[in-house]
Structure formats: C-alpha cells, structure tokens
Structure 1
C-alpha cells in the first residue's frame, strides 16, 4: 500500500541531467533500498505500469489535475503549481505482499521535463520485454543521429547575412532594438538582480538580452525561460543562451528569444528565468520595438 505522508512537500534541487523518457525498475535484479526518483513536470503526463496487480497511494493527491488507477497502471497529471525541485512521495505495494514490503518512489518536479513511462517489474522480465527495450534504444539512437546531422547541416548553412535574409529573420526594417526600463526592482529571493537590458524584434521573433548580477553564494546558470503577456499566455518556441555561468558577485548576460510575428509580443511582458535548483528572477515591464 502506498503510504500517504502528511505535511509540507519537500523541495530539493532536481538533478541536472535530462529526464529519461522511459524508466525501468527491475526489483528482482536490484531490490529497492531507498526511494527511487521519478521525473515529473506540470502539465506533462507520467504513467507507471506494473507487471503484477498493485495498490498505490500518493502524497497530496488532491493537488493533482488527474490521477487514474487500474490494478496494473497509474497515470498522473501533476499539480500545475509544482515548484522546481518539489518532491512528493509515492508508495507501491503488490497484491499479496505485506504492507511493510511497500516500495517507495519520489516524484521530483522538473520544469518542462517528465518521464512519460515508468515500468516496474516485480518478477524477472520476459524475453519479449527485453527485445522491446533493444528496439526502443535502436530507434532512439537513430533519432539522435538524425538530429545531430540536422544540427550540423544547420550550422553549416547559418553563416552571415545571407542566412538571415533567406530565413526572413531580418524583416523589412531589419532588427529593431530598444533599451529596457530598469526600475527599482528588488533582487529576487535567489539573489539575482537586473542591471541592464535590451529588447529586439526581427521578422519572425523577438529577443531580450539582460545583464544580471548574482548576489547569492552559489553560481547561477539559466535552465529555463518564459515570456508571458498580460493575459498570462506564454510566447512559443522559447530558446535561451548564456555563454558563461554567473559566479557569486559577478554580472553576465542572458539572451532569450521567442517566436513572434510583427503583431505579437506587443505591450508589456514578463520575463521569467530560473536555474536547475529553482533559483529564479522575474523581470516585469519588458516591451519590444
């Protein structure tokens, strides 16, 4: 039986590595001695599949957008207000086993990432299951190879003004720029503050470069970014670049770009930046030319 533990949820920095798309737990080969971590993200579905009937319980289940149970499957849609690094406990007990033999998992919140399927095996895996994993790994490796080739081709082609002109990124008026208004915004709780900034608009996208001061005791490196308009809607296809980690008491720039037509990204937007541990800064009143 999954043991429900009350109280405030734990918050700890999520692991820096990307989340696995499929995670397999084989209890017959490696019995669980400590809680296994499962990567979850707000708005992203995660399913746990068991090779035998099992019962589960979930910490703070009422916060979840959706929880669907069957005897061999648990599907979760995590809470929309999960904080980066927040940890929620999950316990699983296979039918016919004592409650003391429950298996502990921890759901760890990663912004924009999630493990989509977790396969939990109480008994040794079948030959068919192992063959399926081999085929999945082959398909994954082939996909990564194709993505690498596309990246190399893009780098080869993306040179000089000819690339910008061909992609229509310049627009008829070129790339427009304007300085950000740097108000008296207090430093964030993570010790980050805005020193200066410039916003840009091209034919198909907008970008903003901000210079941040890190007054905290730990280095800071951006792991996620969002540009949100006054209606609470986020711009699509957001990318970011940071050439150097911001050491304590140092200042460095971060560039964020998002897809936007000439009619989009008008008015004042809010820029949100965060690192893998959840240290974040929110910059309001960002406008584009």
Structure 2
C-alpha cells in the first residue's frame, strides 16, 4: 500500500514552491543485475550494490576463481565453481568500495576482470548474473518475463498514486493524515536572548514555533552579515538532556544574501510528549558557517 502524501508543518508554513533540504538519496539498487562481458569487454570496473546483513550472489556462466579484497572481515563468503555468495563486513559504510577480481578457468591470469562491491545502507542487489559469452535464449527469456512483471507493478503503483493525488489537497489531506486535530496547529513567538557578535556571519532576527499532532516546527529569521550568501545544508535539534531528535528536515525558499534577513523553516516528527522544555537548534551551510539558537521552545 502506498503511503499518504507527506503533508506536514512544512506544507502548512511554506505553501509556495521551494526547495526542501534533505539528505541526498542513494540510487536504488536493482534486485537482479546482469553483466555481459562480451558486450563491453573493455568497460571500467562494474559496480555491484552490497549491504551489511544482506547477501549478494554472483552466478557465472563458466567456472571461475575469485579474489575478494578484505575477505577476512566479511560475515559470509561461500564459493562454488560457478557461484559466489557474500555478506559484506558489518562495519562497511555507504559508499565504501571493495574490489572483487574474477578469473575464468582456462584463461590467462592477466585476463581477469574487476568488479567493485559498493556499500549501501539497507539495500543490496540479491542476484548478479555474470556472462563471459553471449547469453542464452533462456536467459534472455527470463529477463523479458521479469521486466514485464516489473512494468505491471509500476503501472499499478502509478494508478494508485494518481488516485491518491486526486483525493489529496488542502485541509482534507491534513485531517485525513491526522496531522491536524481538534486543537489545530498551535503557535507561539520565539523569544531568544543571544548576546555577542554574530556566529558565522549570521545573527538571530525573530521567529515562531509550531506544534501539530505529529510534529513540531520553527520558522527562524536570520540576518546574514557575512560576505557570502547562506543556505542551510544541515542541522541538529537537541533537548535539555543532550539527546538529538532524529529526522530533522529543512525548507528555505532562497539564499540569504549578504545584508538580508530571511527565514529558514525546520521540522521534526514529535508526539505531544516530545520536544518539551528548552531545546538547542543548530544550523549550518556547506561551508560550515553555523548558528546556534539555544532555549528554543515549542507550544
């Protein structure tokens, strides 16, 4: 079942089109990957998605031997003449790369090919078919059937999404998603006392904080006294116990140019029992220019 549209306080507070700053998404790993050496014999190292805790199996169309970089730290390595199953090291991080060298039987050592295992978080390619020679008719037929099934699933998902979009919009979506209840959205003015020179060329102007059934948000107006434009790239919201609230999201319509006062909106999922008391909000840009706002409170 597809999730409901992501209506939130960011939607309520910024109804005009604008950029929402979130972590850069990782490319989706294919469940089945096919590598045909005969079609691209001189290609650079082919990349294969792997992830700690998930197995990836490589099927070769001819007997082969393999050399695996850092094999001693892998959770699982199972070899056969035409099959290799691996589960990467538990500490493998997203983007980390480990080399896999494959040499087919009967070919000189210098003819080995290099595959690159690339770490991803929570997703991996489960099956990789490595073909030294041209693929058989049966292999092509299996791929055709798989692609047809995938196309049918995508069509069904698209139809469900279109149906949801036709029903979505305005207050009805906020009510249906339980974002807004009888108490509506509570709001209050932020009153922060920040003495001293601006941090990173930024200083506090004014702001408001908000609470809905599912999240809290703050709209903070910042003055840029530095020589370069400023745009939020990350941040943290920490409670009085020093615990950071996870999943902080940002929205900023445009850069804060030197000498300008403009808003940045932040939001994080929170129940009515969470985000209580005085919290500390820290924001920074790609260059590391930071501003810290202590004693931020929510209704």
Q: TM-score range by the shorter chain?
A: 0.5 to 0.7
* Contact 1:182/1:195 (8 A) holds in 2: no
Determine which structure has more spread, i.e. the larger CA radius of gyration. 2
Alpha-carbon displacement from aligned partner over 1:202-254 (angstroms, at most 9, x marks no partner) = 334566778999x9x9x9997x999999999996xx69676779799999857
Specify the alignment match of 1:50 in structure 2: 60
Residue 20 (structure 2) aligns with: none
1:7 aligns to what? Answer: none
Whether the 8 Å CA contact 2:219–2:263 is kept in 1: the answer is no
CA distance in 1, matches of 2:70, 2:164: 45
Equivalent residue for 2:91? 80
CA distance in 1, matches of 2:284, 2:126: 25
RMSD: 5.1
Q: Which residue of 2 aligns with 1:104?
A: 114
* Alpha-carbon distance in 2 for matches of 1:34, 1:107: 13
Is residue 124 of structure 2 the alignment partner of residue 114 of structure 1?
yes
SS in 2 for 1:97: coil
1:123 Cα offset (Å): 2.9
User: Residue 134 of structure 1: CA displacement?
Assistant: 0.9
Conserved? CA contact 1:41–1:110, under 8 Å: yes
Cα shift readout 1:99-136 (whole Å, capped 9, x = no counterpart): 22221012233445533322111232222221111111
The answer to whether the 8 Å contact 2:51/2:87 transfers is no
TM-score, with structure 1 as normaliser? 0.61
Q: What is the Cα deviation at residue 24 of structure 1? A: 0.5
TM-score, structure 2 as length reference = 0.59
Displacement of 1:34 in angstroms is 2.2
Structure 2 residue aligned with 1:93: 103
Partner of 1:69: 78
The change in CA–CA distance for 1:143 and 1:73 in structure 2 (over 3 A counts) is same
For residues 136 and 225 of structure 1, the distance between their equivalents in structure 2, rounded to whole angstroms, comes to 42
Give the distance between the partners of 2:44 and 2:254, measured in 1 at CA: 33
Could you tell me which runs of 5 or more consecutive residues in structure 1 were left unpaired when the two chains were aligned.
1-13, 188-192
The match for 1:169 is 179
Please name the residue that 1:31 is paired with.
41
Separation in 2, partners of 1:98, 1:147: 48
1:213-252 maps to which residues of 2 (within 5 A)?
none
Distance in 1 separating the partners of 2:242 and 2:149: 40
In 2, Cα distance between equivalents of 1:78 and 1:272? 34
1:6 equivalent in structure 2 = none
The alignment of Structure 1 onto Structure 2 pairs a total of residues equal to 257
Residues 238-279 of structure 1 deviation map (CA, whole Å, 9 limit, x = unaligned): 696767797999998576655x6545677979999999xxx9
Contact 1:182 1:194 in 2 (8 A): no
Change (3 A) 1:105 1:43: same
Tell me, which stretches of 5 or more residues in structure 2 are unaligned?
A: 1-23
